[in-house]
Homo-oligomer: A and B are copies of this chain.
Amino acid sequence: MGEAVEIFLSNGLSCDDADLKLEESLKKCSWYEEVIDEDLKWSFALNSILHRGTSKYQDIALLDTKPFGKVLVIDGKMQSAEMDEFIYHECLIHPTLLIHPKYPRTVFIMGGGEGSAAREALKHQSIEKVVMCDIDQEVVDFCRRYLTANQEAFCDKKLHLVINDAKAELEGREEKFDVIVGDLADPVEGGPCYQLYTKSFYERVLKPKLNHNGIFVTQAGPAGVLTHKEVFSSIYNTLKHVFTHVLAYTAHVPSFADTWGWVMASDQPFTLDVKEIDSRIEERINGELLYLNGASLLASTAMNKTVYLSLLNETHVYTEEDARFIHGHGVAYRA
């Protein structure tokens, strides 16, 4: 602003620096506003609206925001942000692939149309095939075209992209997988993905498609001190009714304005050793991780006391008949 001051003075006009400062603070005037909950909103200063699209089901936009970089928004809900999506996607993909006792070769991703989950899975040298099954062709096309960080993954020959309902696809396939990943919208009553979180789906459709030693992992919604009872504790408890070993873990994702949860489940016990995880990261993964290392992976499985007790005492199980209704969340379709 130095020049501005000069010019004003050359006009014979004086100029109050404090006022310029004030003006500066008011200048950020284009905002993306997200309704996190009906009583909580948040707003990011916008640089520009990069792209807009519409699918049969949904509005899609790619916004360039000041605090979080490029942000993918589907039906008014932020899906992921350039500056911190690595937290969500590293946590979604790497723990199971690292904990898996053998070198995992095949992965099935339910949803994941953004391409980031596939991108992370393809970093594992042992991976031979990633099936990504998303229902929305236009979202996939939009992300393939505009999310430059995932373009290499979208072109990888190991990636098999299928446009279908994940349940129908799993039922129709004969093969089994080493790891199955749920990268779907939260299980909201009436939402598009509810069915893919029920005990019967896990038991009858999903589990039979896991190889021996196979692991299932799913995103499990907000897991903060104030929000973990919305769906996180129920997903955890539902999986405990289907698998012998279940492990919940969490991480704070800044652009979600919350701590997020994931749950992995298997009939084999999980072994986590900080050094072993660190050496497997070294050995198995091409390129560098930004969020996970052995210590933080282990720490992510330690719940604080409030969440610990909720997981311990949760009794709700997702069934087709007994949906737990979560107000105001989840119409957006992350699948």
Contact = CB atoms under 8 A, between A and B. Distances in A.
Nearest to A45: B39
Contacts of A21: 18, 21-22
A149 interface: no
Report the interface size class on chain A.
35 or more
Contacts of A35: 26, 29
Interface stretch (A9-17, A109-117, A239-247, A262-270): A9-17
Contacts of A47: 49
Contacts of A303: 295-296
Nearest to A135: B11
A275 interface: no
A254 B226 CA distance: 8
A153 interface: no
Given A49-B48, A291-B306, A305-B292, A76 B23 contact: yes
Interface of A: 3-4, 7-8, 11-35, 37-49, 52, 56-59, 61, 63, 65-68, 73, 75-76, 83-84, 87, 135, 165, 167-168, 189-195, 224-227, 251-252, 254, 257-259, 289-293, 295-296, 298-306, 308, 328, 331-332
